[in-house]
Structure formats: C-alpha cells, structure tokens
Structure 1
Amino acid sequence: MYPKFLLASALCATGLGVAAQADTTYPLTLENCGSEVTFDKAPETTVTVGQAATEVLYALGLGEKVTGTSVWFTKVLPEFEELNAGVERLADNDPSFESVVAKRPGLVSVQYEWHVGPQGIVATREQFSDLGIPTYVLPADCVGKDNTKGSDGTRLEMYEMSSVYRGIEEMAQIFNVPERGTELVASLKARETAAIETAKALDLTDSSAVFWFSSAEMDIDPYVAGQAGAPAYMMEALGLRNVIESNEEWPTVSWETIARANPSVIVVARMERRRFEADDVEKKLEFLRTDPVASQMDAVKNDRIVILDAHAMDPSIRNISALETLAEALPALDQ
C-alpha cells in the first residue's frame, strides 16, 4: 500500500491520475512573497530551510534533489524516514548562511520569511541572489500575512489551505514535475473535504478549543494559536470556536484568561525540539493536570486533550492529517 503522500506520484507513474500536464516552460517567472524569481531550468539541487519545505519536496518525489535540510520540529513523516536519513542535516534549528551556501544549491527552499526574507536571520534573499542562488519561500508564510511585526508575524487574513496548495504546485512547476503537484493537491483536497464533512455531521454547538504550542518557561504565559493561523483555520473548518482573540500567529496568553474561557478541548503540540522546557509534551500534560489554574478547566478534568505533532500546527501538508485527527476526536465533546 502506498503512503498517503506517495499515492499521488504513483498514480502519475501508472497513468491512473488526471490527464498528464505539459512540462514546465522555461524561463519560469513566479511572484513569490513580494519578490520575482526566475528559473531558466529545473534546479539540480536544493537546500531546505524549514521542515515544511522539505516534506513538500519529499512528497513530490524530489528527495534526490535535496542536499541539505534544517529547522526541524518533529520527526520526518514515517514514509520518508529512509530517504531523510540520507540527507545531510545542516542544523536542527537555524542554519548559518555559510553552511547553506557551502552546499552550492541550485535553489534554497524556505518555510519562513523569518529565516530568509527582508530581515532574515539566516540571510536576506538578496544575499543569496548576489551569489546566483535563487530562493523560494512557501506562500503559506506570506499570503495574507504581515511578517514585519515580530518573529511569527501577524495574519491579516484567515489562513487557508489554498496557500499550501499553491506552494505545492509552484514547487512542482519549478522542478518540472507539474503533474505530481496536481495529483498531490487533489489527494490532499479530498482528505480535507472528508474531514470537514465528518465534523459537520456531528452538529456540535458552542464547542471551543485552544492550541498550546509551547512556553518559554513552564510557569509563564503559554504560546497559543491566534485567530487567523493554521490552527484557527482548523477550528473554523471543524466548527470549533477559538477562545484566543489575538491576530498574532502565536501570542502569549495567561492561563487565567484561558481558564476563564474554559475551552471544550485543549490541543497540545508534541515535538522533538527542546528549545523550551514546555517543548516536551509530557511536561505539558503534567502541567495541565497539576497547575492550580489549568487543572480546573473542564477539558482537563474530562481528559479532552488532543496531541498533535507541532509541525501540523504550522502551515504545511500536515494540516490535513491534523484535521483528520481532530475530526476523529470531536465525538468526545458530546460526552
């Protein structure tokens, strides 16, 4: 059986998918997060700065093009473990500009403008361009979003999966495999629709949620999902009210405020990263059950806690599996 993300490529190879598309016509020029980028041919290699970009390339069957990766929150998707083991990891978190350039990539594929953008902490796009290295930033990090305010940026419009689908299709164009992009997007859209229909059938009323990503320290205000990012999209799509009112991507909000809102379900992030103590999901769960404020919430008392991979809370192809996991957990809200 093919893994979900590999099925699309398999259909293309066997001719069972949608009608074959023409090859990419070069030069290809794309408007990308406020910059114009042109490709005279498909890049021979790429270095990724961001797990989301890495997994899109793997899902498109382009793993052999990836010569270095960086910025990881969780383990790679299981179907890509063997592939990923053969790719050099330049850094678990932020790579240096020098380490990326040393790989002499034909393209730098980027998840966040925070890393490669106008004030990029790895480099600006101009710095790479000066060396003849093009950059492509996944549109999900800039469409309807202002990245000039804080490291996480502020959403000006509700995040939608269409920005992820655009990134998949454009990456497929860049690497001259447009049919793989079409097939992968079609598969993800079908799963997205099915998860939403599952939730609608439950006809939940006045159900709410909070998504807890991490905390700089266990006993201070947590980083939770704001009103317009990927988790907010999931909540809206599944009929859940977000108890956090901020438009920041990941604002800090006090547990007292969250407890007063008393969400029906608490969604917590699981990750391998250990930048903060609260990156450890077991410590999150212990805190919820022992903290004098958090432990009083109905969701904690009734064990309505859902664990998601942290990367599924960021714009990525994993948003679909997160939707499916949440939809499966929703019936418990009626108990």
Structure 2
Amino acid sequence: MKTISIGVAGCLLVALAACAGPGGASSSGTPSPSPRAAVELTSCGLPLRVTSPPRRAVSMEQGATEIMLTLGLADRMAGTAYRTDPVLDELKGDYDKVPVLAGQYPGREALLAAAPDFVYSMRASAYAPDAGGTRQDLAKLGVPAYLSSNDCEDHALIPASVSFDAVFAEIGDIAKIFGVEGRGRDVVADLRRRLDTAKTAARIGTNVKLMWYYSGTKTPAIAGRGGLPDTISTFLGAGNAFSDITQQWAEGDWETIARRDPDVIVLADLTRGGEGDSAEAKKAFLRSDPVASKLTAVKNDRFIVVPGSAMDPSIRSVSAVEQVSKGLQDLYR
C-alpha cells in the first residue's frame, strides 16, 4: 500500500475558512461555495450532517470517485484512492487533476493529512480501523463520512437486492451535499434514459440464463441472488442461472455449473493481473478445462465481457446494462 508520509495538516482541527486565502477562497483559488442550510442525511444508520458544501473531499475508492467526477466535482476534491480499473475515458482529464493518496486505502494518518472536510466511499472496508478509520471517529474530528447503502457496516441495513433507484438516490445525495442538485438531476435523467433504451433493445424473446463469472478458476466466484448482476439479468428479461444462491457472490464448482449449463457467460474483465482475472484468461481456461469446455455457452462462444468494476453498484451500472444488452442482441439476433 502506497501512502503519503506527511504529518496531519495543521488546519484540520480548525475551521477550513481559517486556512483559506484572501477573500474566503481556498489556497488553490477555487471560489468558496455559496452559503446554504446544513444538509442532514442518514447514511447506513448513522446521522450525517454537512454544514456547507465540501471543498476538500476525499473519495476512498473508484465508485465514489467516478460519481463525484461525473457531477463535476474535481475542483472540490483533496484526494482519491483505490482505483481498480482505468477511469472512464470521459472522466480521465478531471481524474488526473486530483491527488492520489494511496494505491489502495490510505491509512488514517494519510487521510487526515489531506485535511478533508468530507469523505465518501461505496465500501465499508474504507472505514476499517486499519484503513481510513471508522465513520464515528471521523465525525468526532468534524469530518462527515458517507457510505453507500449497498455495503453498510451493519449487514442488516443492506437492502435485500440492488436497485438502480438506490444508485440514483445516492447520486442525488452527493449532489445535494455539494450543492449541485440540478447537475445531479441531469445525470440521473440521462442514466434513466439510457436504461430504458437498453431494456427496449434487449427484448430477445427467450428466457436466456446468464452466469456471471467474476474471478477464480478452481473455485469460480459467480453471482447469486440480490447483487447487481441478478438485477441486470431480470431487468433485461433474462435470468440468473444461480439466483437460488442466497449470497450476492459465492464460490462455485464446475460440476454444479455444468449441470446448470448456462446459455451465456458474462465475464468480468479485471485488470489486477491475478490468475484468471482478465476476460481473455477466463476464456482460455474455460476452453481448456475438461468440465468447463463442455458447457453449451463455451462450445458456442457465447460470452459477454463487462469490466469487473461494473459488476458492483456504481455510476457504471447503466453501462453494464448497455454492454449486456448489446451482447444479447449480438448473440440472439
């Protein structure tokens, strides 16, 4: 893990205005956001109060980073961390302007050294004591921290299934926190339009069963019930071949998979470089394995490739729908 080894900034424990340059602007020259009433939300069971639009936010993993950049908030970001895939092409220019605090999660010292006034992650692991620190501890330092409802620390608070509406509501929350509600509404309206287009286009007239294959070869990680792959399958009029598995992701075995014999295999294309991570590595394994090579989907080359990061709820959820929709059209029309 790569971290920044500098001390905690002196302006952390005082009002950020005291660290601003002349005329109330930040030292980088970014104008101060207009005054407004405090935003009060509940995030994964904890109250969250943001008294003014953040100016030094830190995103703690790629999903949060891309939502903020899509909302045009690069100039309000003091840092980002844990990029798992190349950033979306349309966001790369803005991403390159934001300091990278760590290759994975920054430790508490590195996080606080960035003097954040808001922290955002879609993963509870970002707030582990050995990562950025708990949200409660950050709140005691006057740093509100937002966590996506799909990965609450208390699993009882996580919805039984992923919904696009929950992703859109989160985009709305972040837009409200930063005082860019209009921009948030525009982003969500465009995502809804793209969803409708992809759903209409994917009407293939048959109950195709999909297997979502994330990683691993001997014990493949496959999508069960309730996660984004299950939601996408249903949304497009297809089915998840393993919807009876109660976990969102579970380790499978090829003998069981062979008995289910899915019609199409959706492959996660992971860039981390481990065994069987890339889509091409998965295809090579499937074609050479004595059991997997007998699957109907493998024999008929029925593969759809989706970036690994698009298999979790994020701004990429809609593009995952579009990619699977197009893949089904290509295979069945």
- Range of TM-score over shorter length: 0.7 to 0.9
**CA offsets 1:84-106 (integer angstroms, 9 cap, x no match):** 12222222323222221111111
Q: Please name the residue that 1:84 is paired with.
A: 95
Check the 8 A contact 1:270/1:279 in 2, yes or no.
yes
Larger Rg: 2
The amino acid that maps onto 1:270 is D
> Where does 1:22-33 land on structure 2 (aligned, <5 Å)?
25-33=36-44
1:210 partner SS: strand
Structure 1 vs Structure 2: percent identity of aligned residues? Answer: 33
Distance 1:120 1:27, change over 3 A: farther
- Correspondence 1:107 to 2:123: no
What displacement does 1:24 show? 8.8
Give the structure-1-normalised TM-score: 0.84
Give, in whole Å, the separation in 1 of the partners of 2:258 and 2:81: 36
The amino acid that maps onto 1:162 is D
Q: Please name the residue that 1:134 is paired with.
A: 144
The amino acid that maps onto 1:51 is Q
Give, in whole Å, the separation in 2 of the partners of 1:290 and 1:64: 49
Check the 8 A contact 2:62/2:82 in 1, yes or no.
yes
The amino acid that maps onto 2:205 is D
Q: Please name the residue that 1:69 is paired with.
A: 80
Q: Please name the residue that 1:13 is paired with.
A: none
2:306 partner SS: strand
- Equivalent position to 1:283, from 265, 278, 281: 281
> Where does 1:25-64 land on structure 2 (aligned, <5 Å)?
25-64=36-75
**CA offsets 1:158-216 (integer angstroms, 9 cap, x no match):** 2100111011111000001110001100110111111111123x2223x101111112x
- Equivalent position to 1:178, from 177, 181, 184: 181
Distance 1:209 1:146, change over 3 A: farther
Gapped regions of structure 2 (runs ≥ 5): 1-33
- Correspondence 1:208 to 2:209: yes
Give, in whole Å, the separation in 2 of the partners of 1:230 and 1:140: 10
The amino acid that maps onto 1:267 is V
Give, in whole Å, the separation in 2 of the partners of 1:330 and 1:193: 16
Distance 1:77 1:58, change over 3 A: same
Give, in whole Å, the separation in 2 of the partners of 1:54 and 1:233: 23
1:292 partner SS: coil
Check the 8 A contact 1:69/1:90 in 2, yes or no.
yes
**CA offsets 1:202-252 (integer angstroms, 9 cap, x no match):** 2223x101111112xx3x211111211111100000122111222212111
Check the 8 A contact 2:214/2:268 in 1, yes or no.
yes
Q: Please name the residue that 2:26 is paired with.
A: none
**CA offsets 1:249-293 (integer angstroms, 9 cap, x no match):** 21111122112111111111112223x322233221211111111
Q: CA RMSD in A?
A: 2.1
Give the structure-2-normalised TM-score: 0.84
What displacement does 1:121 show? 4.9
Q: Please name the residue that 1:302 is paired with.
A: 300
Give, in whole Å, the separation in 2 of the partners of 1:71 and 1:212: 22
Q: Please name the residue that 2:265 is paired with.
A: 266
Give, in whole Å, the separation in 2 of the partners of 1:88 and 1:272: 21
1:279 partner SS: coil
> Where does 1:192-271 land on structure 2 (aligned, <5 Å)?
192-200=195-203, 202-205=204-207, 207-215=208-216, 218=217, 220-244=218-242, 245-271=244-270
Check the 8 A contact 1:24/1:178 in 2, yes or no.
no
Moved over 4 A (4+): none
Give, in whole Å, the separation in 2 of the partners of 1:332 and 1:101: 49
